[in-house]
């Protein structure tokens, strides 16, 4: 009998848990440790954030699904891992602190034979003074509750415009090292759509404040599409969307301080600027969750297991080197932890070897470097691949080959909503192959036959279909495993 423990129940953790339960017999245990009681389809938070969906449409409780599937559930957060075991037991262990199940604050140590770290991001609002819902100045769409608050504040801003008051709205990234620019892009265009639907677009000045050095970068260094026989850059493509919708982009920014009225930010040329605003949705930078690691002697080995960012080191090449020397080979294949062959990190939880987008510094030394996205489809693929490796190790033996899924070979589909509506909605549907460019294989970094982008009503329908499809899958309803990641 083997015990598998999964830290996190987001897209990666929940996917890993369901596949492991499917692949392993009931003699083996699968335990999920998550501080949240609910699962959240995060891509649809955008629609909650503009009031087009209720929170209840994007979340559901995990407990009934885990009960039905025979997955053990601890509503708790991981505090420390002991990959070499401790004085009591040579098996690895995780120290958890309960956040629910009527045990809040209680600490427990659970043993594992195999561990998957899928803890996702810690939302680091504190990295920028005054950023985030707790500071009370800006809103976020990172969680369903944040998105609900965003929708309420947006509705209040729209009401002021209906009363004839011009308003300044800012959407974007709240720090120079943010990732998920795609979410900010989506929210910008959904806000624009709502303003037009409310008949107040002429009363609004809408800014897109981003750490991207160029529009359409999305933290992946941009893309080149093959469109109607021509090579088109994602920069030109997104610039057209911004111009068409009269959104004002401010590029290469790092917000330093946010008050209830002004965003103070630095641009790549080192200049400081003040932007007065009435409504702002700014994403936070991410870090790993503060989990400590200890060896069998109880010595702190956190630096060995985790990168300084708090993300777990895996089978990537972390050797510091200049941007020009970065290679696709630096990226991990199996997501196995450094030094421990029964520990993996997937989704946001693994430490990327470097950015995909070129990192930059202002003359003042401020780093403006979009972090690599590793959410959504890549996250689910990594989780499924690691579940396959663990199942093989349990069923075949410890020498079973690890399954591979490098982001330098992985194709990802990204559907970025630009407005919700059955006949007036739209979305930018993009296919990126591979996610991390490989300039040794492709002259432009990506496969031009596969990489493409298109905007239209069909994109909205696609995102809407995916909303229901992935919630169906996450609920592990009949045939769920046939739905791809």
Nearest approach in angstroms of CB 155 to another protein is 18
Which x/- pattern over 122-161 shows residues binding another protein (rule: CB under 8 A)? ----------------------------------------
Residue 273 interacting with another protein (CB under 8 A): yes
Q: Does residue 341 come out as left (phi exceeding 0), alpha (psi in the -120 to 50 range) or beta? A: alpha
Token pair, residue 17, equals 């848990």
Residue 274 interacting with another protein (CB under 8 A): yes
How far from the centroid of its chain's Cα atoms is residue 268's Cα? Answer: 25
Residue 240 interacting with another protein (CB under 8 A): yes
Instruction: Render 401-435 in DSSP notation, one character per residue.
Output: PPP---TTT--EEEEEES---TTT--EEEEEESSS
State how far the alpha carbon of 341 is from the alpha carbons of 83, 227, 345, in Å: 10, 44, 11
Q: Which is nearer to another protein, 23 or 385 (CB)?
A: 385
Nearest approach in angstroms of CB 267 to another protein is 6
Q: Which of residues 443-462 bind another protein (CB under 8 A)?
A: 450, 454-459, 461-462
Residue 233 interacting with another protein (CB under 8 A): no
Residue 480 interacting with another protein (CB under 8 A): no
Angle at alpha carbon of residue 468, lines to 465 and 473, rounded to 5° = 120
Residue 484 interacting with another protein (CB under 8 A): yes
Residue 278 interacting with another protein (CB under 8 A): yes
Residue 276 interacting with another protein (CB under 8 A): yes
Instruction: Render 110-172 in DSSP notation, one character per residue.
Output: EEESEEEE----EE-GGGSBT-STTTTS-B--SSHHHHHHHHHHHHHHHHHHHTT--EEEEEE
**Among 116, 215, 407, 476, contact with another protein (rule: CB under 8 A):** 215
Residue 231 interacting with another protein (CB under 8 A): no
265: Cβ contacts below 8 Å, ≥ 6 apart: 209, 250, 253, 254, 255, 256, 272, 273, 275
Q: Which is nearer to another protein, 103 or 196 (CB)?
A: 196
Token pair, residue 189, equals 């265009």
Nearest approach in angstroms of CB 245 to another protein is 10
Which x/- pattern over 344-383 shows residues binding another protein (rule: CB under 8 A)? ------------------------------------xx--
Nearest approach in angstroms of CB 425 to another protein is 9
Give the count of alpha carbons within 13 A of 260, CB side only.
Answer: 2
Nearest approach in angstroms of CB 177 to another protein is 20
Q: 413 pairs with which residues across the strands? A: 431
Residue 395 interacting with another protein (CB under 8 A): no
**Among 315, 411, 444, 448, contact with another protein (rule: CB under 8 A):** 411
Which x/- pattern over 251-270 shows residues binding another protein (rule: CB under 8 A)? x---------xx----x---
Token pair, residue 306, equals 């985790």
State how far the alpha carbon of 158 is from the alpha carbons of 34, 230, 238, 392, in Å: 37, 40, 25, 55
Backbone angles phi, psi at 346, to 5 degrees: -130, 160
**Among 79, 198, 250, 471, contact with another protein (rule: CB under 8 A):** 250
Residue 199 interacting with another protein (CB under 8 A): no
Residue 413 interacting with another protein (CB under 8 A): yes
Number of residues that bind another protein (CB under 8 A): 49
Nearest approach in angstroms of CB 252 to another protein is 9
d(C-alpha 133, C-alpha 357), whole Å:
28
Q: Which letter does DSSP use for residue 285 in this model?
A: P
**Among 429, 435, 436, 474, contact with another protein (rule: CB under 8 A):** 429
Q: How many residues does the chain have?
A: 485
d(C-alpha 154, C-alpha 52), whole Å:
12
Which region among 178-186, 223-231, 357-365, 406-414 touches another protein (by CB under 8 A)? Answer: 406-414
**Alpha-carbon Rg of the chain, whole angstroms?**
22
Residue 414 interacting with another protein (CB under 8 A): no
**Among 119, 362, 389, 426, contact with another protein (rule: CB under 8 A):** 426
Nearest partner of 402 among 392, 394, 410, judged by Cα: 392
Neighbours of 111 (CB within 10 A): 17
Residue 57 interacting with another protein (CB under 8 A): no
Which region among 21-29, 39-47, 145-153, 247-255 touches another protein (by CB under 8 A)? Answer: 247-255
Residue 300 interacting with another protein (CB under 8 A): no
Residues that bind another protein (CB under 8 A): 168, 205, 207, 215, 236, 239-240, 242-244, 248-251, 261-262, 267, 271, 273-278, 380-381, 384-385, 405, 410-411, 413, 423-424, 426, 429, 431, 433, 450, 454-459, 461-462, 484-485
């Amino acid at each position: 009998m083997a015990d598998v423990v999964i830290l996190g129940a987001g897209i990666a953790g929940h996917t890993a848990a369901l596949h492991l339960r499917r692949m392993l017999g009931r003699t083996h245990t699968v335990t999920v440790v998550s501080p949240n009681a609910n699962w959240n389809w995060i891509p649809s938070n955008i629609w909650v954030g503009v009031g087009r969906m209720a929170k209840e449409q994007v979340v559901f409780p995990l407990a009934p699904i885990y009960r039905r599937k025979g997955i053990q559930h601890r509503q708790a957060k991981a505090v420390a891992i002991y990959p070499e075991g401790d004085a009591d037991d040579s098996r690895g262990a995780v120290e958890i602190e309960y956040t629910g199940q009527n045990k809040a604050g209680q600490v427990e140590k659970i043993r594992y034979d195999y561990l998957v770290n899928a803890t996702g991001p810690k939302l680091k609002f504190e990295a920028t003074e005054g950023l985030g819902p707790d500071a009370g100045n800006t809103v976020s769409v990172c969680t369903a509750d944040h998105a609900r608050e965003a929708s309420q504040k947006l509705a209040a801003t729209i009401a002021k415009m209906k009363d004839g008051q011009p308003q300044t709205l800012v959407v974007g990234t709240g720090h120079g090292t943010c990732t998920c620019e795609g979410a900010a892009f989506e929210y910008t265009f959904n806000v624009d759509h709502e303003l037009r639907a409310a008949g107040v677009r002429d009363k609004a000045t809408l800014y897109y404040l981003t750490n991207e050095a160029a529009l359409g970068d999305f933290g992946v260094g941009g893309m080149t599409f093959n469109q109607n026989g021509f090579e088109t850059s994602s920069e030109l493509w997104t610039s057209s969307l911004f111009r068409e919708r009269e959104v004002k982009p401010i590029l290469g920014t790092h917000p330093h301080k946010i008050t209830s009225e002004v965003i103070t930010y630095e641009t790549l040329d080192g200049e400081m600027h003040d932007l007065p605003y009435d409504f702002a949705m700014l994403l936070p930078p991410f870090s790993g969750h503060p989990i400590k690691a200890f060896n069998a002697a109880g010595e702190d080995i956190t630096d060995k297991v985790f990168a300084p960012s708090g993300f777990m080191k895996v089978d990537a090449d972390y050797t510091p080197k200049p941007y020009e020397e970065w290679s696709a080979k630096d990226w991990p294949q199996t997501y196995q932890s450094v030094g421990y062959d029964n520990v993996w990190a997937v989704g946001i939880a693994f430490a990327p070897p470097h950015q995909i987008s070129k990192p930059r510094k202002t003359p003042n030394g401020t780093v403006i470097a979009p972090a690599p996205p590793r959410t959504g489809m890549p996250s689910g693929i990594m989780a499924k691949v690691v579940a396959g490796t663990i199942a093989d190790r349990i069923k075949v033996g410890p020498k079973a080959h690890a399954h591979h899924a490098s982001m330098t070979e992985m194709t990802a589909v990204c559907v970025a909503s630009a407005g919700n509506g059955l006949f007036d909605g739209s979305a930018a549907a993009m296919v990126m192959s591979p996610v991390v460019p490989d300039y040794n294989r492709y002259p432009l970094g990506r496969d031009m036959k596969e990489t493409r982008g298109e905007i239209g009503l069909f994109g909205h329908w696609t995102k809407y279909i995916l909303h229901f499809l992935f919630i169906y899958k996450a609920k592990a309803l009949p045939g769920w495993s046939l739905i791809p990641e």
